[in-house]
Amino acid sequence: MKHLIFLITAVILTTACNRTTAQKVSKVDNVKKEEVLSASPMVELQTTMGNLKIKLYENTPGHRDNFVKLVKEGFYDSVLFHRVIPSFMIQGGDPDSKGAPAGKMLGMGGPGYTIPAEFVDSNLHVKGALAAARMGDQGNPTRASSGSQFYIVQGQSMSDAQLNQIEQMRNFKYTEEQRKAYKEKGGTPFLDREYTVFGELVEGFDVLDKISAVAGDRSNRPTVDVMIIKAIVVNK
């Protein structure tokens, strides 16, 4: 069985974002540019713990258009946040989580395709970042994204020493503005340039914190379901 995992370094955390079936890497079908309301549309996830309003990035058009397409199709309605790790992230987007009984292992579902990676150096895993989950590098050398599973970063504050270590390991440099964002807002910088970040939370940070704090089982599935009741595209 293939696994949808985060390849997290030992710098901060070694938890995985698990499990999806093997899927053929392909470009998203039937996504029409004219269906997008704007270059940077907004999506609202109405959850059982409050609403999350997200701006999708213009510089990741494949992920943006696919997310809008799925939202308009009702794909995310009644989907659970099936994996929640405090001080890290909340993950959803598995269609198999709809109506899933308590204790069922989740994280293997998707729409049947993946999306080519869209790495942009300026798109960071700062708190509130929306990013695509994916299979690990061994079975996914191009780092293609899951067609539907996503995570929203909670993360934690970073120090200069931690950011220096990440820069040395990854052989890149953060700008002073980016360092400031990680130190003040927090995030998961060890995932930068490894997973596609394609949006950011603009409203509902309190909801993100509440969801991140829920109790979970050994698979990090919340013991009380946290559901996306409805997802909609909204005006800015």
Render each residue's pLDDT in the chain as its tens digit; 236 residues.
333 444 333 333 333 344 433 334 444 444 443 344 467 899 999 999 999 999 999 999 999 999 999 999 999 999 999 999 999 999 999 999 999 999 899 999 999 999 999 999 999 999 999 999 999 999 999 999 999 999 999 999 999 999 999 999 999 999 999 999 999 999 999 999 999 999 999 999 999 999 999 999 999 999 999 999 999 999 76
91 belongs to a structural domain = yes
CB–CB of 198/123 below 8 Å? yes
9 belongs to a structural domain = no
214 belongs to a structural domain = yes
Domain that holds residue 44: 38-234
- Integer Cα distance of 47 and 155 in angstroms: 20
Instruction: Check residue 192 and report its DSSP letter.
Output: T
49 belongs to a structural domain = yes
227 belongs to a structural domain = yes
**Tokens 């997200």 sit on residue:** 54
What is the domain count for the chain? 1
94 belongs to a structural domain = yes
6 belongs to a structural domain = no
CATH number at residue 160: 2.40.100.10
Tokens representing 184 are 């003040």
210 belongs to a structural domain = yes
